[in-house]
Amino acid sequence: MTFIERMITVQAPPQQTFEYLRHFENLPSYVPQIQKVTRMDGDRVKVAIEIAGRQLESQGVFRADSKTMRIEWHADDRHKYSGLLQVRGGDATPDISDVMIHLNVDESAMHGGPAHPQMESKRTAFTEAMLDELQKALELIRRVVEERVGEHHKFVP
């Protein structure tokens, strides 16, 4: 299992940042691989994804807790993918948010089997690609949320 964690600071109050992120419909605005998210029932969602030109669908859970400003998700399929997003107030100012994302990925499930020496370079490349995509997602979160706060002076999710 690979654990990846990154954080970014957003120039917006934590409540407004979380208000945008908690809506699963907004996922495509900051995770470009996600084309569409549809609520099934309760916390269950179906996600249409494009990865390396391939169209995929996955089902899972997307759960947002407004009290703790935390979002958790996991895929039900063979990919064994889960994560959490946490929004917190920034250092010493109410107008700044720290957004942290933590991902758990079973690379052997992603690559279709248990680890063996020939797969090691693919796993390293996979982890690097995941870090890259996570950083891009965080930068998109910052841009989208800051633009919404700046354009409207009153946040609109």
Q: What is the per-residue pLDDT across 16-60, written as a single tens digit (0 to 9) for each?
A: 999 999 999 999 999 888 999 999 999 999 999 887 788 888 899
86 within some domain: yes
157 within some domain: no
Q: Which CATH number goes with the domain that contains 17?
A: 3.30.530.20
Q: Quote the number of domains for the chain.
A: 1
Q: What is the dihedral of CA 49, 50, 54, 60, to 10 degrees?
A: -20
- Closest C-alpha among 102, 103, 81, 100 to residue 141: 100
Would you state the pLDDT for residue 153?
A: 47
70 within some domain: yes
61 within some domain: yes
pLDDT score of 92 more than 80: no
pLDDT score of 155 more than 90: no
Q: In terms of residue numbers, what domain contains 98?
A: 2-152
Would you state the pLDDT for residue 28?
A: 92
Q: How many CB atoms lie under 10 A from the CB of residue 14?
A: 19
127 within some domain: yes
Q: What's the pLDDT band for 79 if we cut at 50, 70, 90?
A: low
With contact defined as beta carbons under 8 Å apart, do 8 and 99 qualify? yes
